[in-house]
Amino acid sequence: MCGIVGYTGYRKVIEVLFNGLTNLEYRGYDSAGIAVRDENEIKIYKSLGKLINLKNEVERCKSQIKNPTSGIGHIRWATHGSPSLINAHPHTCSCGKLAVVHNGIIENYKALREELIQQGCVFRSQTDTETIAHLVALEYSKVKDLEEAVRNSVKRLQGAYAICVMHKDVPDVIVGARKHAPMLIGVGEGENFIASDTPAVIEYTKKTIYLEDNEIALVTKNNVKITDINGNIVNKKVEVLPWEPVALSKLGYKHFMLKEIHEQPDVIRNVLNGKLYDIDEAIKLNEVKIDKEKLKDLNKIEIIACGTSLNAALVGKYLIEDFAGISVEVEASSEYIYRKTTTNSSTLVIGVSQSGETADTITAIKQAKEKKSHVLIITNRPDSNMARLADSLIPLNAGIEVSVAATKSYSAQLISFYLLAIYLAEIKNSLNKEYLKNLKHELIQLPTKMEEILSNTSNIQECARKFSSYKNFIYIARGINLSSAYEGALKLKEISYINATGYPAGELKHGPIAMLDETMPVLSILIPGGICYEKILSNSEEAKARNAKLIALTSSEDENIKNLFDFVIKIPSISEILSPALTCVPLQLLAYYIAEFLGKDVDQPRNLAKSVTVE
Ligand code: AGP
C-alpha cells in the first residue's frame, strides 16, 4: 500500500527520496510524488503509475530544481479518490506553502472538509489527505509553530494516519505523526530520515526509532525530537535493524519472488534453529509465554489471519488438532471482526501475518485482547504493530520479503506451526515417542528435500509452458494438503491473473465437476501413503472422464500415474503430514513460471499491495 519517505541532510535529496521510494515499491501503488525544499520554496512533482514516470517528470523539470535540502516522498495506493495526478501526494494547503504525505484513512474527513471549506479553504482533490494539509496550515497560521500545529490538527483526526509535513516558512524541518499506521525515524549523522517502513532507510542507516500511536516527531538534519500528544518529551530507544541492504537486492535472480522461493531451505533452517536440533530433545519454544500447566488444560485456540497467512493457519489447525487434540478454529480476520465470537480469557488467540501490519488482523487481535485472551503473534516483522500487541511473539526470521506474493514467509509460517503443534503435544504427552522422533527427523531433512526440487526446475517450467494458455484451473487435494491447493491456486491468481480455485477433491462431484471439460485443467496433490491417496486418484479419474487435462503433484513412483495424468510434477518422498511444507515449492514455481511466461509483472501484480493497512 502507500509508502512514505522523508529526508533532511547533506546528501542529494531527490536521489535519497527515489531510493527510499524504490525500496517501498514492492508494497504496490498507483501514483507517486515528492515535495522538496529548494531555494526557499516547496516544489512538488507528481506522476501517475510507476516511479520511472516520476523520475522522468523530475528530469523534465530539472532546470527549475537547484539545490534541495530536504524533502518528502510518497507512493499512493488509491483509497479515497481515483488514481490521478490531482489525487497523488504530496498535498498542499490553499496557498501552497505546506506539503503533506499520508498513509492511512481519515474517517471524519468529510465533516472536516465541509468545515474547512466554510473557512475559505480551496480543495483540489478528492482525497481525505488534503484535509490534513488545510487543517495544519490553518493551525500553523494561528500558532506559528509547525510541531504544535501538527499536534493540534491530529487531535481532530479520526482513523489511521502516518503523516509527514513540511512548511515553506520552517526550513528543513519535517514533522511526522502517527496513529494506527507505522512510522519510523532513520537516525544518521548530519542527516535524518523518516519513513513508513524500514526498507526506505536501510541503504543509509540501520539505526531506527519507532514512533508509537499519538507521538509526534520533529526531524531536522542534526536532531530528532519526539513528543506525545500533549507535548511532553518522550525518550525513545534507538534500535538497530537486523537486516543488511543486500536483503533488498535480487542477487542475480530475475525477480524477488524467484529469489525468495530459492531462499526457503535456508529460511527453514533458520526457523528450526535453536528450537529443534536433536530428535531426542523436546522442542524449545520459549517464545510461548504461557505456563506449561495452563497449556495442558488449554482446550480452545482461534487462529486469525488473511490471504496466504490464512492458508498457513489451516495447516496449523490440522496439526494442532492432530498432534495435541486441542480444538482450533481458523477465521479470516475480516470475518472475525464483524461477528459475536466466543473468544474469552481461556482462548489462546493466534494472529498470523507476514507483515504484522494487516489492518483486519490488527483489529481482530485488539478485539481478542479486549476479551482478555492470550495473544500469540506469528510474524515476519517483530518490529510491526501486531508484534507490539503480542503477549507471546514467534518471529519467523524469514528475512525481508519483497515480492508481493508471499512465498518464504508461508513456508516459515508452516514450520512455526509444526514446532508449535509438536511443542503442545509434548506438553500434553499426546504423541507416541517413536512417531515424534520420526517427525523431527523428517523436519530436519526438509530443507535438503526442498533443495532437491529447487536444483532442477526444468520439468516445472515445461509444465508452465504447456499450461500457460489455459484461463481456468482447479487444484484439488484432501486433508492436510487442502490448504496447499488453496495456496497454490492463490499464487497463480495473484501473479498471472488466471482464475484458479483450490477445492476439496471430494467436493468436486458436488458441483464444480459441472465446469470440467478440456478447457479446465485439474491439478491433483497426491501423497502416497496418505489417508485419501486412492480417493484423490478416483476424483482425478472422474475429472479425466470429463476430458479435463490432469496434472499430478506427487511423490508417487507408481507407473500408472503417468498413464492417468497428462503431466506429472515429482517431489521427493515425504510423509503426508509434512508434505505441505514441500508441495508449496513446486506450486509457487508453477505460478511463477506461468506468470513469467505470460510476461506479467511478477513482483508487483496489479491491484495488490504487500501489506494491506486499510480494512
Ligand atoms: C500473499 O501472497 C498475498 N499477497 C496476501 O494474501 C497476504 O498474504 C495477505 O494480505 C496477508 O498479509 P499478511 O500476512 O502480511 O498479514
What is the pLDDT, as a whole number, of residue 246? 64
Q: How far is the CA of 345 from the centre of ligand 1 (A)?
A: 28
Please state, in angstroms and rounded to a whole number, the distance separating the CA atoms of residues 205 and 223. 15
What is the pLDDT, as a whole number, of residue 1? 67
What residues are in contact with ligand 1 under a 6 Å CB criterion? Answer: 306-309, 353-355, 358, 361, 404-406, 494, 608, 611-612
- 458-597 has CATH 3.40.50.10140 classification: no
**How does DSSP assign 327-340, residue by residue?**
EEEEEEHHHHTTS-
Instruction: Express each pLDDT in 103-143 by its tens digit.
Output: 988 989 999 999 999 999 999 999 999 999 999 999 999 99
Instruction: Express each pLDDT in 211-264 by its tens digit.
Output: 988 999 999 999 999 999 999 999 999 988 776 666 777 878 999 999 999 999
Is 2 marked active-site? yes
Q: Mean pLDDT for the chain?
A: 93
What is the pLDDT, as a whole number, of residue 115? 96
- Cα Rg of the chain (Å, integer): 26
Instruction: Express each pLDDT in 580-592 by its tens digit.
Output: 999 999 999 999 9
**Is pLDDT at 22 greater than 80 in this prediction?**
yes
> Which of 358, 362, 413, 608 to mutate to test ligand 1, by most ligand atoms within 8 A of the CB atom?
358
Q: How far is the CA of 68 from the centre of ligand 1 (A)?
A: 37
Instruction: Express each pLDDT in 291-340 by its tens digit.
Output: 999 999 998 999 999 999 999 999 999 999 999 999 999 999 999 999 98
- Among 396, 436, 421, smallest CA distance to 480 is for 421
The CATH class given to the 256-451 domain equals alpha beta
- Among 306, 284, 329, smallest CA distance to 420 is for 284
Mean pLDDT confidence for 8-37: 92
What is the pLDDT, as a whole number, of residue 418? 98
Residue whose Cα lies nearest atom 16 of ligand 1: it is 353
Question: Residues 6 or more apart from 341 whose CB is under 8 A from it?
Answer: 302, 367, 371
Decide: 104 and 159 in contact? Cβ < 8 Å.
Answer: yes
Q: Does 3-248 match 458-597 in CATH topology?
A: no
Q: How far is the CA of 388 from the centre of ligand 1 (A)?
A: 19
Instruction: Express each pLDDT in 406-428 by its tens digit.
Output: 999 999 999 999 999 999 999 99
Decide: 594 and 498 in contact? Cβ < 8 Å.
Answer: yes
Q: Spell out the SS3 assignment of 481-546.
A: HHHHHHHHHHHHHHHHCCEEEEEEHHHHHHCHHHHCCCCCCEEEEECCCCCCHHHHHHHHHHHHCC
Helix (H) or strand (E) holding 7: strand 3-9
250 burial type by CB count under 10 A (0-12 exposed, 13-18 middle, 19+ buried): middle
Residue whose Cα lies nearest atom 10 of ligand 1: it is 307
Domain boundaries, the chain: 3-248, 256-451, 458-597
What pTM value is reported for the model? 0.79
The CATH number of the domain covering residues in 3-248: 3.60.20.10
> Which of 77, 336, 350, 354 to mutate to test ligand 1, by most ligand atoms within 8 A of the CB atom?
354
What is the pLDDT, as a whole number, of residue 329? 96
